[in-house]
């Protein structure tokens, strides 16, 4: 199944391979714009808590498994400044959270 890509070759901002991007912590955030992002700061939970008006403790699961991946995904999609545009052939090789 083909997907609609809204970028051109000139929009690609990195020449790193998919494997290198995954090792650096990048995850897919947009299929259409071929964007990948990663958590860009140590205090990302504090930033997220301030933006949502809650406590950092609210992001931890009650079962002791830590911070849910959905919170990481939301931070990367909305707050991360560390975004790259990859080639359309690479975007499906990079996992989401």
DSSP string, 18-74: HHHHHHTT-EEEETTTTEEE----TTHHHHHHHHHTS-GGGGB-TTS--B-HHHHHH
Mean pLDDT of 79-83: 97
Quote the pTM value.
0.89
Which SS3 state, helix, strand or coil, does residue 84 take?
Answer: strand
Strand partners, 84: 36
Q: Of 95, 86, 85, 88, which Cα lies nearest the Cα of 2?
A: 88
Query: pLDDT by residue (tens digit) across 13-25?
Result: 999 999 999 999 9
pLDDT recorded at residue 97: 87
Task: Domain ranges for the chain, please list them.
Answer: 1-38+82-97, 42-78
């Amino acid at each position: 199944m083909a997907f609609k890509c809204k970028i051109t070759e000139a929009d690609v901002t990195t020449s790193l391979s998919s494997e290198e991007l995954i090792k650096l912590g990048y995850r897919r955030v947009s299929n259409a714009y071929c964007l990948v992002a990663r958590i860009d700061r140590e205090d990302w939970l504090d930033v997220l808590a301030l933006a949502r008006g809650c406590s950092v403790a609210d992001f931890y699961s009650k079962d002791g498994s830590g911070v849910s991946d959905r919170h990481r995904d939301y931070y990367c999609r909305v707050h991360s400044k560390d975004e790259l545009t990859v080639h359309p052939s690479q975007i499906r090789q990079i996992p989401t959270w």
